């Protein structure tokens, strides 16, 4: 029987690299993307493209009511921060782009599907270094959720708990970019910008962190940006 893993795939850089890592680890991947009233659909389209590129056995779209997360800036609840350099983004502060309990909800639904599929693992692309302000992206949260699955699922009480694998949690953005590059991920399929459109804005926090990561990795991001980016001696992404 094939080794199966459910992958939480938003279409962003981190979740796409995590999905590529699951394939590299020998899993047949089953991708899950959530629709929850995001202000644009660009990232969701990227998730479709990445899932196809990585040969996902299935890719499901799960629709959640937008009122669950309506206070987040990503759903129009507050202004999205722009114009800050990557090094100026406060560490430890929970930003306005925080989505209430998002990874608790996502991991719960993904774990249910994984148990139903008799999968071994759920992959999630959370990262604690570049955006440590999100409480549901921290190592202690992931470990606590593993304990929930050990105690609250049939597989868990039977001694075969689902693995929650967060391969990027201790990596810098540059290390994540290098990993994705080494795995052959097509970065042009991914999307990180908090805004939609044909070009990434280049000024929101997510774009700034992505640009910084590619620069430090010595690679040029293949995504087009609305602002001019000096890639220096960076090679092709």
What does residue 34 show for φ and ψ, rounded to 5 degrees?
-105, 135
Give the strand pairing for 121-123 and 235-236: unpaired
| Percentage with pLDDT > 70 across the chain | 83
Q: What is the pLDDT of residue 78?
A: 46
Q: What CATH number is given for 4-186 in this structure? A: 3.40.50.620
DSSP state of 183: T
Tell me if the pTM is above 0.75.
yes
pLDDT for 221 beyond 50: yes
Q: Which residues pair with 219 in a beta bridge?
A: 235
Highest mean pLDDT among 25-29, 79-83, 151-155: 25-29
Angle at 217 between CA 215 and CA 223, to 5 degrees: 55
Confidence band, pLDDT 50/70/90 cuts, at residue 27: very high
| pLDDT tens digit sequence for 95-116 | 556 677 789 999 999 999 999 9
Of 64-68, 93-97, 149-153, 193-197, minimum mean pLDDT range? 93-97
Give the mean model confidence (pLDDT) for residues 193-201: 87
Percent of all residues in the chain with a pLDDT value above 90, rounded to a whole number: 68
Pure H helices in the chain: 13-24, 42-53, 102-117, 139-152, 154-157, 173-182, 205-217
Q: Are 38 and 74 in contact (CB under 8 A)?
A: yes
Q: 3-class SS at 123?
A: strand
Mean per-residue pLDDT over the chain, rounded: 87
pLDDT of 175 above 80: yes
- Which position has the higher pLDDT, 78 or 119? 119
Average pLDDT of the residues in 63-78 = 62
The alpha carbon of 170 is separated from its chain's Cα centroid by a whole number of angstroms, namely 14
Spatial CA neighbour of 24 closest among 218, 195, 180: 180
Buried/exposed 146-185: b ≥16 CB within 10 Å, e otherwise: bebbeeebebbeeeebbebbbbbbebbbbbbbbbbbeeeb
Q: How confident is the model at residue 84, as a pLDDT?
A: 47
Predicted confidence (pLDDT) at residue 22 exceeds the cutoff of 80:
yes
Residue length, the chain? 237
Parallel, antiparallel or unpaired: strands 58-63 and 121-123: unpaired
Report the pLDDT value the prediction gives residue 86, as an integer from 0 to 100. 46
Between 15 and 43, whose confidence is greater?
A: 15
């Amino acid at each position: 029987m094939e080794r199966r893993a459910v992958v939480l795939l938003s279409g962003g850089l981190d979740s796409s690299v995590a999905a590529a890592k699951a394939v590299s680890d020998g899993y047949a991947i089953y991708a899950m993307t959530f629709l929850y009233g995001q202000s644009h659909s660009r990232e969701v389209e990227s998730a479709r493209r990445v899932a196809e590129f990585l040969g996902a056995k299935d890719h499901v779209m799960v629709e959640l009511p937008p009122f669950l997360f309506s206070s987040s800036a990503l759903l129009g609840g507050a202004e999205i921060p722009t114009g800050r350099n990557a090094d100026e983004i406060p560490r430890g502060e929970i930003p306005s782009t925080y989505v209430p309990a998002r990874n608790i909800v996502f991991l719960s639904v993904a774990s249910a599907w994984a148990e139903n599929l008799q999968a071994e693992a759920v992959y999630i692309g959370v990262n604690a270094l570049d955006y440590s302000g999100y409480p549901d992206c921290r190592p202690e949260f992931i470990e606590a959720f593993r304990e929930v699955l050990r105690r609250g699922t049939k597989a868990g009480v039977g001694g075969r708990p689902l693995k929650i694998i967060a391969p990027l949690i201790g990596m810098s953005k540059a290390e994540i970019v290098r990993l994705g590059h080494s795995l052959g991920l097509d970065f042009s399929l991914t999307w990180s910008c908090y805004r939609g459109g044909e070009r990434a804005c280049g000024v929101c926090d997510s774009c700034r962190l992505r640009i910084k990561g590619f620069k430090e990795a010595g690679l040029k991001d293949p995504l087009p940006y609305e602002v001019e980016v000096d890639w220096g001696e960076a090679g092709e992404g």
